[in-house]
Amino acid sequence: MRNLMVAGNWKMNGDSTMTSELVDEIAAGYVGSDSCELLICPPFPLLGLAANKIQGTSIFLGAQNLSEYNSGAYTGEVSALMLTDAGCQYVIIGHSERRAIMRETNEMIRKKFYAAIDNNLIPILCVGETLEQKEQQLTMEIIEQQLKSVIGDNAASLTNAVIAYEPVWAIGTGLTATPEEAQSIHHFIRGIISSISQEIADNIQILYGGSVNGGNAKGLFSMPDIDGGLIGGASLTASDFLSIVKATNK
């Protein structure tokens, strides 16, 4: 039985005051359980503060990105080793905003994925299609390409990994795939993995990301192949975030 996960991606938001207050409110309202894992992913400068605030709780810490390099003359980059030193257990890789705005390629994302694994970070690999690709009925082709460009035929690389399906057309737009639409894509993703390893396919968490809120989370999380959510805007308000966490009670 797979645990559910609710992961909050703060994106480029927050300061020290906001971090202290938000983490305190989330920790106060979160009743840890064996079936739901809670993860927050603040911006780099706030990771240390967040790590200190969640000490003694069952909340996990993640980063939003990392360098493909371990160290060296790469001004402005942050390595996997630095993230683990800051207290991170997870890192988001290949988010659609990194792909679109920062022009990250599948090859760059592959290198970041393995940099995380090699340094004992759990990567959350994001895949998903744009509205144009969806309208051209390329969704499954794009997702398979994004996934296989990272794992190839090596499903073992997913033993300690998470996948997040984030339809780009639903991120920050208020649009959300119906539970049935999202389930069909999650089932497709799990099928790609099962063609390589059924055991890993059965155990890997596949999250949904795309305007998840307290109103639609219950329906999404009730689907058999949806194992929680990668939450954007709603993770910045404790009450909104906790309402999504409560929806994991199947």
Please state, as a whole number, how many other Cβ atoms lie within 10 Å of the Cβ of residue 156: 11
CA atoms within 13 A on the CB side of 105: 2
- 117 vs 99: CA distance, rounded Å: 20
Residues annotated catalytic, as ranges: 95, 166
Residue 195 · residue 158 · CB < 8 Å: no
3-state secondary structure of 35: coil
Cα radius of gyration (the chain): 17
What Cα–Cα distance (Å) separates residue 122 from each residue in 29, 112, 150, 235?
A: 25, 11, 14, 20
Write out the DSSP string of 48-81.
HHHHHHTTTSSEEEEES---SSSSSS-TT---HH
